[in-house]
Amino acid sequence: MTLRGTSTRRREDAPLLRGEGTFVADIKFDNPAYVHYLTSTMAHAKVLSIETSAARSIPGIVDIITNADLDIGPYPSANPLFDEAMIRPLLAD
C-alpha cells in the first residue's frame, strides 16, 4: 500500500480547528523542570572530560547528564563518506 499521491485524513485537525483540542503549549504543570542542551563551541573537537560538580551544587538543579552518563558512544557522523576527510595529523603529541 502506498500513500504517495493520496491525501491522508488527520484525526487531530478538527478538534483543534474548533477550539476543542489541546495544544502542548496549553498544558500547565506545577513546578515544571526545564532542560538546556549545551554543545561544544569547537567544531570537530574531542571532548575528553566535563567537570559538572560546580553546576550540580547550584540550588534548583535537578540533574546534569553528559554523554558519559548515557554510555552511548560518540555521536554518529552526519555523512560517513567525509569522515576520513576530517582526520588531520597532529602538530604535537
Is 70 exceeded by the pLDDT of residue 50? yes
Residue 10 lies in a domain: no
Dist. CA 78–CA 75, nearest whole Å = 9
Q: What is the pLDDT of residues 56-90, one digit of tens each?
A: 999 999 999 988 888 777 666 677 776 666 666 66
Please state the pTM of the whole predicted model.
0.49
What values do phi and psi take at 80, rounded to 5? -60, -20
Residue 92 lies in a domain: yes
Torsion angle defined by CA atoms of residues 10, 11, 13 and 15, in that order, rounded to the nearest 10 degrees: 170
Q: What is the pLDDT of residues 18-28, one digit of tens each?
A: 888 888 888 99
Residue 76 lies in a domain: yes
Residue 18 lies in a domain: no
Q: Residue for cell digits 563551541?
A: 41
Domain with 72 in it: 31-93
Residue 37 lies in a domain: yes
DSSP 7-49: ----SSHHHHHTT-S--GGG---SS---------SSTT-----
